[in-house]
């Protein structure tokens, strides 16, 4: 389940930014997740909640923005939605030289900072 490593990385990056900016906490995080990124949204939600425990993100909501997969045939320039499982060869010319235009995204889009802490402050041991 690589969703836990993704959740831990997101929490780490957001917590670092929150501490650097003096934020009291985090209300929500929005991630852009491509259809072809291999991420199961329900698993990511579950892992995110676990990863937030004991951090400045405790209680933060995770929102995801899905990005559909799109491909383009290099020889004939036809574009199409890839779907799942992805269709990566061109139906028009049979070309197998495909460029993925979207669908692999996995990035933090927005973070909404909290006005006050969501929980008791976390004391980190040196």
Annotated binding site: 2, 73, 76, 90, 93
Annotated binding site for Zn(2+): 73, 76, 90, 93
- Strands (E) across the chain are located at 26-34, 61-67, 70-73, 79-81, 98-102, 106-113
Q: Which residue has the tokens 């917590």?
A: 15
- Helix (H) or strand (E) run with residue 18 in it: helix 3-21
d(C-alpha 123, C-alpha 19), whole Å: 13
Annotated binding site for Ni(2+): 2
CB atoms within 10 A of CB 51: 23
Cis preceding-peptide flag for 85 (omega within 30 of 0): yes
């Amino acid at each position: 389940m690589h969703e836990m490593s993704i959740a831990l990385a997101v929490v780490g990056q957001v917590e670092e930014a929150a501490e650097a900016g003096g934020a009291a906490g985090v209300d929500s995080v929005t991630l852009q997740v491509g259809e072809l990124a291999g991420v199961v949204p329900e698993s990511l939600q579950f892992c995110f909640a676990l990863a937030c425990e004991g951090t400045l993100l405790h209680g933060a909501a995770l929102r995801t923005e899905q990005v559909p997969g799109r491909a383009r045939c290099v020889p004939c320039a036809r574009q199409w939605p890839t779907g799942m499982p992805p269709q990566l060869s061109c139906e028009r010319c049979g070309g197998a030289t495909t460029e993925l235009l979207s669908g692999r995204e996995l990035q933090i889009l927005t973070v909404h900072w909290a006005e006050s802490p969501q929980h008791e402050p976390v004391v980190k041991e040196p």
